[in-house]
Chain A
Amino acid sequence: MTTMTDVTTVEHGPQTGAVKLTMLIAGAVFLLMMIFGLAMRAAQGALVEIEPGLFYQLMTVHGAGMVGTAGLSGATILWYFTGRHVPLIAGVFHAFLALFLLGVVLILGAIFLGGYAGAWTFLYPLPAFSAGQWEAGAAVTFLLGYTSIGVGFLLLHLEVMRKLIAAYGGIGGAMAWPVAFGRGDPKDAPPPGVVAAMASSIFNTIGIVIGAAVLVASIVNLAFPGFAVDALLAKNMIFFFGHVFINAAIYMAVIAVYEIVPDYTGKPWKCSRAFALSWTVVLFFVMAVYPHHLLQDVAMPGWALAMGQIVSYFSGIPLIAVTAFSLLVYLRGANGMRWDLATGLLVLGVAGWTAGSAPAILDGMIVVNKVMHNTQWVPGHFHTYLILGEVAMAFGFMAWLTRREGETLRGPVATVFWAYVLGGAGFVLMFLVSGALSVPRRWAVHLPEWHLQAQIATAFAALVVLAVTAFVLRYVARLGRG
């Protein structure tokens, strides 16, 4: 059984090389997808001209690429830190990475060679109704790309769960249920990273299995158009999968915060009763909340929509009152803590994630959703907890992998850090403002009265792209120097 002390004493997890390479791929793909995002926002501001067909291809590759890379970086963080506590089979990670890259090739081919532009959400039956933009084969190729990535994630999560279950005495042991439900002593509890790894592996596995089912149904529908699926059922499955997958990316990335920040504050992150309870609550809430994507589907049972709204609100409590609150307590309790790029970005990640929950919860209310659903309010809130949340944590982890002793957040690196914060905050605020002004999301062409908002957003986005270029170059330079 691993104990708390390992968290701070073990310096290097296994497979540091493969992990560093994967994070390099993730960083580079984030940057490329951000450039596509910049192009889209500039097109919405009429600063550049992009044909609608190409715009929607870019939107599809940006959505799929970003969500996939968030998952990739989150899972790599999970793998690295789980490897500190239990031995993992290296080949599983190699297979995961290979299947991921195969999926990327299929997705890029489907979009840029096949013209697929059915969005990352492949909402049934859109892949089969292209209005002449793509052939069924391109849609099938896209969906096979997802399938390949999904299989890789399943392998990774199964290996992680198998080892954690064996080492900590079952699912309950790894989830710290003895502590959560009264009898156990927090001193015997698994490290926080293990609890988070177990919970996120469970829900991501369930999400991917449901996702695989709807992928197969969509592929069969493309091959045999006579085979029809209930559109509402398919939508439920797609959003269950999509919601769980992107949330899993964030919940996996936060493991880096639990494992790295204590090295700087000097206080171990404790698996307290509140912590253990919150992860069990999260396990169920992440899966129960997905109907908040279907609040305008009045054919859904009323109880499901009410549950979507209520769970959406209450999901904020474990985040705010446990993860964010504990981080704030540890920071305030630190004694002359040294900030560097790694800790700056990791703490930014938790702050941005927490901040993004406010507009998300509001949009999860049926009355608000009726006027804000599918406006730019939606990309507004999720870019908040992605750019300033998951992605910040991923770059924080990369900065930590390549850290130098005694470095501080000063000089040029501080400028880049604050450029990222400012650019990111300005960019997401402009989405929120546009959403509040009734600008629809996913429109290739915007009305002239909306151009100014998109132009301001483009300037902030350019700042983000510059800062991320610097993060990636710094990482590469340091990897090169070893």
Chain B
Amino acid sequence: MQLIVLAISLVAMALIAFTFLSAARAATLPAVVPRTDPEARRRRVILGLAALGVIVTLLSLRPWPHTIPGTAAVVNVSGGQFYWEIDTDTVPLGEPVAFHAHTVDVTHGFGVMDPAGTILFQTQAMPGYVNQVSHTFETPGTYRVVCLEYCGIAHHDMLNEFTVAAR
């Protein structure tokens, strides 16, 4: 997911840079009468972007990304300055797991990295709330828990881990 997002961004940014550079060059040359009416082109850009927006919205919001399956196994995690407490050290493989994120002091960010170090999901652990996030682990191994909300001077040291294994 992350690398696809990076690729899309780089292409879009390169396209924008190229458009500006070529207009900047054209500005120094004698004026040319545009082949098509700029206002007609502007309308096409707006309609095109709007249509793309509707499609992307529908595809990315259905199903609702924060849905928690009713059958998920529950794991409680609790953050505090500066540690993560997890109520189990082994999490089941191949079935949905719902993490319930608590905090004892400030807001922390409960984030999980796979064995290769790629972030899989996160949610906020916020005073007064128990936020839930669910995930189905596909590969066994050791997963790292990190903090993804700045919580004070040892924020980067709030590390823990758990094992994913078949029941």
Contact = CB atoms under 8 A, between A and B. Distances in A.
Contacts of B30: 335-336
Given A325-B45, A328-B20, A367-B60, A123 B119 contact: no
Interface in A354-374: 354-355, 358-359, 362, 365-368, 370-374
Contacts of A296: 109, 122-124, 131
A436 interface: yes
Interface string A329-351: 10111111111000000010011
A302 interface: yes
Interface string B13-30: 100110110011011111
B84 to A, nearest CB: 14
Contact of A336 (B28, B65, B148): B28
Nearest to B123: A296
Given A230-B128, A231-B129, A313-B53, A332 B109 contact: no
A101 interface: no
A442 B150 contact: yes
Contacts of A130: 152-153
Contact of B129 (A299, A309, A327, A435): A299
B124 to A, nearest CB: 5
B153 A449 contact: no
Given A231-B129, A355-B13, A129 B24 contact: no
A131 B152 contact: yes
Contact of A232 (B32, B60, B128): B128
B16 A358 contact: yes
B56 A313 contact: yes
A259 to B, nearest CB: 18
Given A230-B128, A314-B53, A321-B49, A123 B152 contact: no
Given A325-B45, A443-B156, A368 B148 contact: no
A332 B26 contact: yes
A265 B57 contact: no
Contact of A331 (B24, B81, B109): B24
Nearest to A55: B153
Given A56-B153, A371-B121, A126 B24 contact: no
Given A370-B122, A374-B122, A440-B146, A336 B16 contact: no
Interface in B123-164: 123-124, 126-129, 131-133, 146-157
Contacts of B9: 358-359, 362, 432
A351 B16 contact: yes
A297 interface: yes
Nearest to A318: B46
Contacts of A47: none
Interface residues of B, number: 74
B105 to A, nearest CB: 5
A371 B1 contact: yes
Contacts of B2: 371-372, 435-438
Given A232-B129, A331-B24, A370-B121, A316 B49 contact: yes
A331 B46 contact: no
A438 B113 contact: yes
Contact of A362 (B5, B26, B132): B5
B29 A336 contact: yes
A351 B17 contact: yes
B94 interface: no
Contacts of A325: 38, 42, 45
Contacts of A351: 16-17, 20
A436 B117 contact: no
A126 B23 contact: no
A203 B43 CA distance: 27
Contacts of A375: 119, 148
A84 interface: no
10 interchain residue pairs of minimum CB distance? A358-B12, A443-B156, A436-B6, A337-B27, A351-B20, A335-B31, A374-B148, A331-B27, A331-B23, A334-B27
Interface of A: 52-53, 56, 117-119, 121, 123, 125-126, 129-131, 133, 230-232, 235, 265, 274, 296-299, 302, 305-306, 309-310, 313-314, 316-317, 320-322, 324-325, 327-329, 331-339, 347, 350-351, 354-355, 358-359, 362, 365-368, 370-375, 377, 384, 429, 432-433, 435-438, 440, 442-445, 447, 449
14 contacts: A123-B106, A131-B154, A265-B27, A296-B123, A317-B53, A331-B27, A351-B16, A354-B20, A355-B13, A358-B16, A359-B9, A362-B9, A370-B65, A437-B118
